[in-house]
Amino acid sequence: MAPNTHSRTPFRTQIRRLLPLVLSLSTQVFPGAPSAAVGADKAAPSSEKTAGDAASPKKTVNKEDLRKKLTPTQYEVTCNAATEPAFRNAYWDNHAVGLYVDIIDGEPLFASNHKFDSGSGWPSFFQPVTKGSILEKEDRTHNMVRVEVLSAKSGAHLGHLFPDGPRPTGMRYCINSASLRFIPVADLEKEGYGKLRPLFQEPAAGAPAQK
């Protein structure tokens, strides 16, 4: 006997007619459910960055290129989170007025009028030029729990952050000289940092004098 296809046709037709209604209701009851316009196997397009993107370095650094550009100490500090010797580095005792920038990409990081003598043997600052220029990350190496300081754009290791600094912030950014390049205030315009000259018009409020 031939199958009765006529009796199944109305049922299939009803299913096809009801499917858009079911999908529409599901998106109202379950907002995260896929709509008829967006298939279940496709994500809705988005132009916004996630919070993870904002907290990650913004540039991809070619380490082989850096090996050619940096000294061995600069490379080990910035790329492998090494620590240079205390009291035997370029800027721990530098009292000149000027700007400290990322050795890799030149991003402004610290200013001399935020620098203080911590007695640690490394350049120490109570704040960065802008909070957005650095990243802070938990560091559990060497059987310690510390806060690692990274350059936000290049991802370079800079040093560590400690809550034992002077006023007004009470923080101590203990930074490796090898991760920095110093630009004297007289060279700001020549080096392309003229817009930051107002930083050095007068000492920051509450800034401790360097010894």
Q: Catalytic site residue 79? A: no
**Do residues 125 and 175 make contact, with C-beta atoms less than 8 angstroms apart?**
yes
Q: Measuring CA to CA, which residue among 126, 122, 201 is closest to residue 167?
A: 126
| Cα dist from 131 to 40, 50, 111, whole Å | 41, 19, 13
161, 174, 175, 199: the catalytic one is: 174
Classify residue 154 by burial, with Cβ atoms within 10 Å: 0-12, 13-18, 19+.
buried
How far apart are the C-alpha atoms of 126 and 94, rounded to whole Å? 16
Distance (Å, whole) CA 38 – CA 168 = 52
Which residues are tagged catalytic?
A: 174
